[in-house]
Structure 1
Amino acid sequence: MLTETAYAKINLALHVRRRRADGYHDLETLFAFCVDGDELTVAPAGGLGLTISGPFGEGLSAGEDNLVLRAAAMLRDEAGVEAGATIRLDKRLPIASGIGGGSADAAAALRLLVRLWDIDIPDTALHDIAARLGADVPACLVSRSCRGEGKGDALDLLDDATLQGVPVLLVNPRVPVPTGPVFQRWDGTDRGALDDGDPFAAALAGRNDLEPPARAMQPVIGEVVEALSVAPGVRLARMSGSGATCFALFGTAEERDGAYRAIENRFPDWWFLATFLR
């Protein structure tokens, strides 16, 4: 049995530049990944099967429409593999919350099944499979700090020395924020390019253009960002992706853990994850 982590994704900055004719948006974003996330395990089997457990597994479909099984089927077809697999997903991260979700799970399944089936497949072919599954899946496949452009699937790896090991606190107020409606509420204004150079400096100078429309849909997101922004030692606080998960980067783990305790005391029903960037 093999195991793989579906690392939680955060967008340190997310600039929406324009709407495209194909319905997507041209983006410029800085992806970073946490050391924690969902967990997938796999074992050999005759066919493809999926079981889901964990605190956020209830209600998720384990059928062929699940992105994990779609990833497995696409990889098997692409590589000409006849073997199957039984996949177990331990769903530890909130669903549809701006931190990777199904995209990270699908990417982890690809990495896991390449190992299980001992597939020799070029990185470009694996990237193409990931891109067909969703705009965030290629970044989640790499699960390293990178800059994303186009739909977010044109990637450049970053010199992430200023990011590795940085303490981060993720907070989700447990409200649904569907991605599509958030993008639809974007006001269409191009507020400028994402800076090049050091990714942490670029993140500080950047923004998340989806935060205002997400806040309009769920004002509690503003409360989360405000609570994180005033915490001692915070270096950057922002919403990730299309929400509703927000994050804060800290100088030390002690500062992060102090913020965790203080905010949890005020908002015990919110979801928290104290972790590090990888």
Structure 2
Amino acid sequence: MTRSDTPILELAPAKINLYLHIEAKLNNGMHSIDSLIMFADCADQVFVTPQKNITLDRYGPMSANLPAVPDDHVYKAAQKLAVLTNNKAGAKIIVKKNLPIAGGLGGGTADAAAVIRALGKLWRVDISDDLKRNLAKELGADFHVCLENKSSRVKGIGDELLPLKVPHDLSAVLVNPLKTLMTVEVFSVFRKEVHINQTLDIPSSWSDDSREFIRQIKELRNDLTDPAISLCPIISEVLLKLGSSDGCMLQRMSGSGATCFGLFVDHERAVNAAEKIRSNNLDWWVTTTKLNSKHV
């Protein structure tokens, strides 16, 4: 293998919404949001190498139910980047899918952001702010934060990112009952059944102590939880199992679900909790992870 054929690897880590407040509906029909997003150290892997055309192959433990290649966010992102930059080069794209799809973890959008970072290197393209805005129109509200891949407070329609100083290596257990939830369906229920909740006070700064930070997060909420549970009732069971785990300080759903997380101060307790939940629910996806890891 020549140096030019060595794959460029970009990770697409799981995106975790520690809180998610849904705010006013905008003229374009979308809602503005306020969310604190951190990234886990578990991730999909995106590889790119040069070739004449753009192709996409997918494999891995969570690849079985991915959409057809032309409908895949990764393929769309690559094609869109080529058009917007008038790039005639191709790329062989391979995605190892390790994370549940449609699970509230950023999923296809995180993978699309990773392929944009990788193709930017391969094609030597500067990913300008204008380019980001054009790509986000097709790739969704999480695209901006997934592209930056840093802990952020996210506002607006996902396009306002405020960098944060938050604890590193926060221990968490992620659980998905392997039920897919489409964001558009959850928002549809939200719009029909839920009034905009009263705005909560967001801390002006976040503690760098893990225990106190979790207490701060606990005062907030995910406004999509009830709509998601109405579509996927097993989420309630997942939250109950996390909340009853020894050492779990907070259990909550991420994004539009169905993945839920539990936050722990003690990593060994997180590992024990994950093992117990996994052994009693063999058909669920369960993993221990660290958020905002120094090693990712």
For 2:216 and 2:26, the matched residues in 1 are separated by 25
In the other structure, the counterpart of 1:196 is: 203
Counterpart of 1:45, as a letter, is Q
Aligned equivalent of 1:214, options 228, 246, 252: 228
SS of the counterpart of 2:69? coil
In the other structure, the counterpart of 1:125 is: 130
Map of 1:50-129 to 2, 5 A cutoff?
50-122=56-128, 124-129=129-134
Is 2:264 aligned against 1:257? no
For 1:100 and 1:22, the matched residues in 2 are separated by 22
In the other structure, the counterpart of 2:250 is: 236
For 2:266 and 2:131, the matched residues in 1 are separated by 36
Q: Aligned pair in 2 of structure 1 residues 198, 103: CA closer, same or farther (>3 Å)? A: same
Is 2:273 aligned against 1:266? no
Aligned equivalent of 2:170, options 166, 170, 181: 166
For 1:4 and 1:47, the matched residues in 2 are separated by 20
Contact 1:19 / 1:26 at 8 angstroms: preserved in 2? yes
Shift, 1:237, TM fit: 1.1
Which whole-Å deviations, capped at 9, do the CAs of 1:212-238 have from their partners, x for residues lacking one?
111122111011111111212222210
For 1:111 and 1:236, the matched residues in 2 are separated by 33
Counterpart of 1:168, as a letter, is A
Which whole-Å deviations, capped at 9, do the CAs of 1:93-115 have from their partners, x for residues lacking one?
11101001101000000111111
Q: Give me the TM-score of the superposition, normalised by structure 2.
A: 0.88
SS of the counterpart of 1:45? coil
In the other structure, the counterpart of 2:4 is: none
Aligned equivalent of 2:158, options 152, 168, 178: 152
In the other structure, the counterpart of 2:39 is: 33
Shift, 1:150, TM fit: 1.4
Q: Aligned pair in 2 of structure 1 residues 22, 120: CA closer, same or farther (>3 Å)? A: closer
In the other structure, the counterpart of 2:210 is: none
Shift, 1:259, TM fit: 0.3
Which whole-Å deviations, capped at 9, do the CAs of 1:84-142 have from their partners, x for residues lacking one?
100001111111010011010000001111111122343x2343244222111111111
Shift, 1:194, TM fit: 5.1
SS of the counterpart of 2:275? helix
For 1:193 and 1:17, the matched residues in 2 are separated by 11
Is 2:181 aligned against 1:136? no
Which whole-Å deviations, capped at 9, do the CAs of 1:127-168 have from their partners, x for residues lacking one?
3244222111111111111011112222111112x2x21111
Q: Aligned pair in 2 of structure 1 residues 202, 24: CA closer, same or farther (>3 Å)? A: farther
SS of the counterpart of 2:62? coil
Identity of aligned residues (%): 39
Runs of 4+ in 1 over 4 A off after TM superposition: none
Shift, 1:196, TM fit: 3.0
Q: Give me the TM-score of the superposition, normalised by structure 1.
A: 0.93
Aligned equivalent of 1:176, options 175, 180, 186: 180
Runs of 5+ in structure 1 lacking a partner?
none
Once the two structures are overlaid, the 10-residue window that deviates more, 72-81 or 231-240, is 72-81
For 1:178 and 1:71, the matched residues in 2 are separated by 19
Contact 2:81 / 2:135 at 8 angstroms: preserved in 1? no
Is 2:287 aligned against 1:248? no
Shift, 1:16, TM fit: 0.9
Contact 1:53 / 1:89 at 8 angstroms: preserved in 2? yes
Q: Aligned pair in 2 of structure 1 residues 171, 134: CA closer, same or farther (>3 Å)? A: same
Runs of 5+ in structure 2 lacking a partner?
1-6, 207-212
For 1:265 and 1:156, the matched residues in 2 are separated by 39
For 1:62 and 1:185, the matched residues in 2 are separated by 27
State the Cα RMSD in Å. Answer: 1.6
For 1:252 and 1:53, the matched residues in 2 are separated by 34
Shift, 1:62, TM fit: 4.6
Counterpart of 1:234, as a letter, is C
Q: Aligned pair in 2 of structure 1 residues 235, 57: CA closer, same or farther (>3 Å)? A: same
